[in-house]
Amino acid sequence: MSSSPTSASATVPLLRGIAMTLLVFASIGLIWQALVVGFSIPPYIVPRPLGVLHAVVTQWKALALPLSITASAAALGLTVSALTASLIAVAFSMSRGLAQASLPVVLVFRSMPVAAVAPIMTLMMGRGIGVSIAVVTIISFFPILVNLMRGLTSADNNAAELLHVYGASKLQQMRLMRIPYALPYLFTGLRISGTSAILGAMLSEWITGTRGLGKLILDAGDMREIELLWAAVLISILLALVVFWATATAEKKMLSWKA
């Protein structure tokens, strides 16, 4: 069965973006190699790109489990934050009084430093992936909430007046008009939060000692395994790019009706 022209036209820009990203990475690798060789930087400080790639290939087993733990924590935390932020944004948009009363609490919640929250979470939940999920949820929650609240109030005035004339209830207006208009804003929040979710999971692992890419980077630094350390950093960057591409692909498929 042949693909539709709409899906094909949506896939081409994504593939072009991936190709451009890979080209940028290749350029960075060449500049990296030239700087290391030109300034005679010893490999125990900054390894060469080929050495890092060699570490990725030869020590994949050492990278696989930490990668899966960090990715799982980021995915679960991002899912929890997206669901929670969606429910709260809908409630705020339907009740202005509730929004005015609750937004200061949300702002206080957002201003809490993760470095202080993670040890408290560890005391409450113990060491494990649960702390990383909680930290990712805290970091990812606010950008999604802010974008969704903006999206829920961005509906077309003509559509709002039409639904009002037909006597649509608040729930019907939310389902038929506000939520569809808010979906692009939701994906904007997910793209912003998706990359920070990886950093949040790794930050939690650095602080609490939970197994993951963050803990692997610390251990590799202590053991002076510099190539493995840089390999873990490279894997974390690629993981953030995968999250970004996944959200962009989901947005194009779910919002194909807008085209």
Mean pLDDT, the chain, as a whole number? 83
Q: Tokens for 233, please give them.
A: 């950093």
In a domain, 4, yes or no: no
- Give counts: helices (H), strands (E), the chain: 11, 0
CA distance 42 to 38: 11
pLDDT in tens, 88-107: 998 888 887 887 778 787 77
pLDDT category of residue 9 using cuts at 50, 70 and 90 = low
CA atoms within 13 A on the CB side of 18: 12
CA distance 163 to 168: 5
On whether the CB atoms of residues 208 and 131 are closer than 8 A, the answer is yes
CA distance 69 to 74: 9
Residue 149 host element (H or E): helix 129-152
In a domain, 143, yes or no: yes
Q: Tokens for 253, please give them.
A: 């498929």
CA distance 193 to 162: 35
pLDDT category of residue 257 using cuts at 50, 70 and 90 = low
CATH number at residue 125: 1.10.3720.10
pLDDT in tens, 194-222: 888 998 899 888 888 888 999 999 999 88
Indicate whether 77 pLDDT > 90. Answer: yes
In a domain, 32, yes or no: no
In a domain, 79, yes or no: yes
In a domain, 10, yes or no: no
Q: Which domain holds residue 133?
A: 52-258
* Domains: count for the chain: 1
Q: What pTM did the predictor assign? A: 0.80
